[in-house]
Amino acid sequence: MEAGKTGRRAKGASKSAADVREHQEIAGEHRRAGAGPVQGGAPGTGDPDQAAPLGPTGSSGTCGEPDASTRRTSGSEGGPGKRAGGDTGTAPRVDPYHVNIRLEEHKLCLLVMIGVRADGRKELIALSDGYRESTESWADLLRDCARRGMRAPVLAVGDGALGFWGALREVFPQAREQRCWFHKIANVLGALPKSAHPGAKKALAEIWNAEDKTHARAAAKAFDAAYGAKFPKAVAKITDDLEELLAVYDYPAEHWIHLRTTNPIESTFATVRHRTKITRGPGSRAAGLAMAFKLIEAAQARWRAVNAPHLVALVRAGATFEAGKLVERPDAQPVEPIKAAA
């Protein structure tokens, strides 16, 4: 009996190790290709741009920049440290994170929103607890931010969590959507056999690391042609969300590294995961919410600004970018040369 249990544990341990190696390979490919840190920071560092692979977690994000008049609220407004600003810019991110509560049966679901200020600095916008990842919980958080003066974000970055996207379309319908490539790659590989992973990873890299949107669309068609007949479910995960996956190419090339994934929130929560693992979870929901806020607040001082911060204001103003470059006069008509009279 004991031998059987030991064998099952060993089998589970090897499976877990294989999953970790899979995430490390994906993160390494993103770093080597210059896509920036992927899904995590080293535990205890609080640096969103120091990469370290994490296990699969649900995450979503919106992009924006809180105004300098951001303030904290508490009590009925969502718990300690909940903030909102008068303006949002290129990419605030939102993320649900589940924390075990020692003295309660259900887990605490933390809803977190991180934004980018006009000067390029990242900042915590809101922190609240919700019911799982429901649309109504996210909608309550977004409506509260809007009530306190936050403008609609230009772009929302996150995975396929339906609760957040439904709430975003309800509260801020003008905001665009960008799916997290790290989560998407993991989902696609999960629908493919192991033998197809090396080729699929290279084909996916041609999409998310393309020179511009035109090349990315061509790479997506090539991926469909190569794998669509044998693995339609895996290919559908790309083709069904292709517009949301390629939205990043409509913004400055300097910002692509920040918009492809939900790394800023995932890496920040590495410190929260580390603390909850050591303490075996907080004793109450209020304690878990307060602990998460204090850890994020401490880590916020070490977050680095986005690349090319001077472009954030242009994105907020609705400037047009093609192939990652600013178009000076997008509506200007080409001028025909004047022919000299004979």
Domain segments of the chain as ranges:
24-317
Helix (H) or strand (E) holding 97: strand 93-99
AA letter at 267: S
pLDDT of residue 286 exceeding 60, the answer is yes
Average pLDDT over residues 89-110: 57
pLDDT at residue 97 in the model: 52
**Other CB atoms within 10 Å distance of the CB of residue 38:** 26
**Least confident stretch, 43-47, 149-153, 208-212:** 43-47
Backbone angles phi, psi at 95, to 5 degrees: -155, 130
pLDDT at residue 92 in the model: 57
Residue 186 binned pLDDT confidence (cut-offs 50, 70, 90): very high
pLDDT at residue 279 in the model: 65
pLDDT of residue 57 exceeding 50, the answer is no
Helix (H) or strand (E) holding 303: none
Name the most confidently modeled range: 94-103, 104-113, 262-271: 262-271
More confident residue, 56 or 228: 228
pLDDT at residue 87 in the model: 54
Instruction: Report yes or no: 264 and 303 within 8 Å, Cβ to Cβ.
Output: yes
Encoded tokens for 115? 């934004």
* Nearest C-alpha neighbor of 246 from the set 289, 216, 281: 216
Average pLDDT over residues 42-59: 34
pLDDT at residue 211 in the model: 95
Name the most confidently modeled range: 78-92, 156-170, 261-275, 281-295: 156-170
Distance CA 289, CA 112 (A): 11
pLDDT of residue 241 exceeding 50, the answer is yes
Q: How far is CA 287 from CA 261, 269, 282, in A?
A: 29, 16, 6
pLDDT at residue 58 in the model: 35
Bridge partner list, 63: 155
Distance CA 208, CA 104 (A): 42
pLDDT at residue 297 in the model: 86
pLDDT of residue 334 exceeding 80, the answer is no
Average pLDDT over residues 336-342: 57
Question: Where do we find the tokens 């303006």?
Answer: 87
pLDDT at residue 62 in the model: 37
More confident residue, 58 or 90: 90
pLDDT at residue 308 in the model: 93
pLDDT of residue 210 exceeding 90, the answer is yes
Residue 277 binned pLDDT confidence (cut-offs 50, 70, 90): low
pLDDT at residue 331 in the model: 64
Instruction: Report yes or no: 102 and 281 within 8 Å, Cβ to Cβ.
Output: yes
Distance CA 104, CA 239 (A): 42
Encoded tokens for 299? 């880590």
- The answer to pTM > 0.85 is no
Residue 63 binned pLDDT confidence (cut-offs 50, 70, 90): very low
Give one DSSP letter per residue of 192-208, joined into a string: S-GGGHHHHHHHHHHHH
pLDDT of residue 266 exceeding 50, the answer is yes
Task: Write down the mean pLDDT value for the chain.
Answer: 73
**Least confident stretch, 141-150, 266-275, 310-319:** 266-275
Average pLDDT over residues 25-31: 57
